[in-house]
Structure 1
Amino acid sequence: MNTNRFNVFNQIHKGLRALLFDTVMQIQQTDMSNAEAAAPVLEQTELLLHLFDSHAYHEDTCILSAAEQHSPQVIKDFESEHETDLALSNSLRQKVTDYRLGQSDAARYVAGYNLYYALNDFVAFNLKHMNKEEQLLNTILWTNYTDAEILGMEHQIQQQIEPEKMLTYFKWMIKGINNTELIIWLNAVKAHAPDFVFNALLETCQQNLPQDRWAVVEQQISEGAAI
């Protein structure tokens, strides 16, 4: 991994991993025979599926299409993996539907475990897939594009995401990255984005960071820290 180059996947993948891990912990700690208790798990699983579907689409159109010009066979393999991911997504989505159709505690208990195992399959595949993207696909991008060009691909993706969904991505990226990465991000947004975007990001940080982390980040931003 070349740490001196821009990693277009780092921030979004850390956010998506945070969402995956949080969802698994949530279902492991929930009595899935209880429909009321299970409702937040179902809602977050559906959110997870929605964000991963959107992420895969934007990767295909803005990242893989650029890399394909230089390594078509490698990109063909990634596209095949996205098809596998779609099948796992559909299976997990069906397990959510099956759970909602459960008419008894016993039926919901079984459906909850089926959902749990489908979620684990989805998580295991996507963790490996994201690692492969960061290790292999980044190498292709770095060999053939400048950091400025890769950053342009990221901006192209951001322009296609509606504001409400972007705030949801922000929430999980904030939860998933470290303080240094977060401060660099906040400084960049402060320098280049409208004030309302920066203020919305700060508010999302305050809402989603533990108080001790937020205090450190807020202090460094207010002091104009440039990392």
Structure 2
Amino acid sequence: MNTLERPDTFRKVHKALRKTLFDTTYLAGRTDFTIDHELEALKTQVNELVHFLHMHAHKEETYSFPLIEAKCPGASAHDQAEHEKIDQLIADLEHRLATTQASPLAVRPGLGYDFYLALNRFVSVYLMHMDEEETDTTAQTYALCTDEEIQGVTQKIIASMSPADAGLSYRYMIPALHSGERTAFFKEVQATAPPFVLQNLLSVASTTLSAHEFQQLETAVVRRVETRNF
């Protein structure tokens, strides 16, 4: 069966995570590690990436993995082990960046380049991790769980997010979706959530999409909001 025909707890958030990963590696590549304000901007971006990665892993471990574990004990063991390995790699990245920032200017370029290479190695590992979840874990979940159970996990994850974490997720997710996905997501919100939720998401969209993309979205959901000057 085409996986697009069934609910998916990974698709949208993984697109958001890919954007965060690629934005971070792009910024790292153009950072002059001898300029304090550029290094501080990179640190802020890395901290945001790390928070997003930890938040996502926590949601999976709290809601997604228990669902398949209840059906088949041990089913999430591989993904759990991957999370532990990823945590170690994240800690290494944080240590490298902190060391670079605390070092004399003369050695920062070399340390910064080492950090950049380590970051790209991490991204390659994390991309493979997401691919396994999108293929193997998804197939396993479909074999074990009903659509209603999968949708229930998604609803629990959304309900458990703080406003700040939701804002972070949507700031990366909205521009990472293609126009059809984006419109469908907003129409679902429009149909199921209080009006202020749609208003807040449109506000995020107004700052993360191009003027043309935002106008298309706003027209598609038939909702006029004065959140952007065209």
> TM-score, with normalisation over the residues of structure 2?
0.91
* Equivalent residue, structure 2, for 1:7: 8
1:33 Cα offset (Å)? 2.2
* Equivalent residue, structure 2, for 1:202: 202
* Equivalent residue, structure 2, for 1:59: 60
Separation (CA, whole Å) in 2 of partners of 1:131 and 1:150: 19
**Residues 127-161 of structure 1, C-alpha deviation per residue, up to 9 Å, x if partnerless?**
11011001011112112222221111011112221
Quote the RMSD (CA, aligned, Å). Answer: 1.6
Letter in 1 for 2:85: T
* Equivalent residue, structure 1, for 2:143: 143
Contact residue 34 and residue 109 of structure 2 kept, 8 A: yes
Q: CA separation of 1:71/1:33 partners in 2, compared to 1, >3 Å: closer, same or farther?
A: farther
Separation (CA, whole Å) in 2 of partners of 1:197 and 1:18: 23
Contact residue 34 and residue 108 of structure 1 kept, 8 A: no
Letter in 2 for 1:128: M
Which SS does the other structure have where 1:222 is aligned? Answer: coil
Separation (CA, whole Å) in 1 of partners of 2:223 and 2:171: 23
Deviation above 4 Å: which 4+ runs of structure 1?
none
Percentage of identical aligned residues: 27
Separation (CA, whole Å) in 1 of partners of 2:43 and 2:115: 9
Unaligned stretches of 5+ in structure 2?
225-230
1:1-227 alignment, distance < 5 Å: 1-104=2-105, 106-222=106-222
Separation (CA, whole Å) in 1 of partners of 2:51 and 2:223: 38
Letter in 2 for 1:142: Y
User: How many residues end up aligned between the 2 structures?
Assistant: 223
Contact residue 62 and residue 157 of structure 1 kept, 8 A: yes
Separation (CA, whole Å) in 2 of partners of 1:210 and 1:201: 15
Separation (CA, whole Å) in 2 of partners of 1:175 and 1:223: 19
**Residues 72-129 of structure 1, C-alpha deviation per residue, up to 9 Å, x if partnerless?**
444211111111001001101111211221221x222122112212211221111110
Separation (CA, whole Å) in 1 of partners of 2:95 and 2:31: 19
Unaligned stretches of 5+ in structure 1?
none
